[in-house]
Amino acid sequence: MLTRLTPTLRALLSQYQQNLPPEHYREFVEHIESLSAGFVRELEAVPAGVERARRVHQLMEGAMKDLGPDQPSCRAGCSACCHLEVEITREEGMVLAARVKKGHPIDRERLAQQAARERQGPEWQRKEQPSNRCVFLGQNGACTVYTDRPASCRKLLVISHPVECATADGKVQAITIPMAEVLLSTVISMPGVEFMSLSKGVSLALDAP
């Protein structure tokens, strides 16, 4: 049962509700719920924690295989999206913190400053500012934890020119991948799953004994 929806899935459902006959909309919702139930079965088969976060990443890779006709314009090194307030589960925070605990270098001071911000605070609107850089973003503009990057990072692709992502009022056209939205909505609807900023999730996991 989906109790929390990603903003993209909510917008998609609203659009379909407005444009489809009621019976077709009902069928669409039932289809979404059925896909979600399948994801729940997959996720309940693994223990909560790091293992479940890794299973979410595997499932997200599968969901991202169906991009439809859209060709992403995202390129290595265009890292504007790594200056946004990325949301992760607490379990994904544990995966990233494990890397840090094993010696992966990050700017702990910047992590703490970002974690202390109010959610969706005004600083994030300033986009490509040094203070907004994800602590896992390398100097060459590449993610330094690519294989462990959170589900939110995996599903963010655009078709607009990269310069739009880097501009404060740029017209960003994200690719909507319904399966990815159903998966993430399923994950955040699961009992006990906490969803928070990347900086907060990693900080909490680093502070845990």
Q: How far is the CB of 145 from ligand SF4 (least distance, A)?
A: 6
Total residues at the site for ligand SF4 (CB under 6 A)? Answer: 10
The pattern of x and - marking residues 99 through 138 that bind ligand SF4 according to CB under 6 A reads -----------------------------------x-xx-
Among 5, 63, 100, 145, binds ligand SF4 (CB under 6 A): 145
Farthest-apart Cα atoms in the chain, separation: 55
CB-based burial, 128-158: b 16+ in 10 Å, e otherwise: eeeebbbbbbeeeeebbbeebbbbbbbbbbb
What is the H or E stretch that residue 197 is in?
Answer: strand 195-197
CB burial class (10 A; 0-12, 13-18, 19+) of residue 120?
Answer: exposed
Nearest C-alpha neighbor of 172 from the set 6, 3, 8: 8
149 makes contact with ligand SF4 (CB under 6 A):
yes
CB of 148 to ligand SF4, least distance (A): 8
Q: What angle do CA 199, 58, 147 make, to 5 degrees?
A: 50
Stretch that binds ligand SF4, among 28-36, 120-128, 145-153, 174-182 (CB under 6 A): 145-153
Measured from the CB of residue 201, what is the shortest distance to ligand SF4 in angstroms? Answer: 11
202 binds ligand SF4 (CB under 6 A): no
Residues near ligand SF4 (CB under 6 A) are: 82, 86, 134, 136-137, 143, 145, 149-150, 153
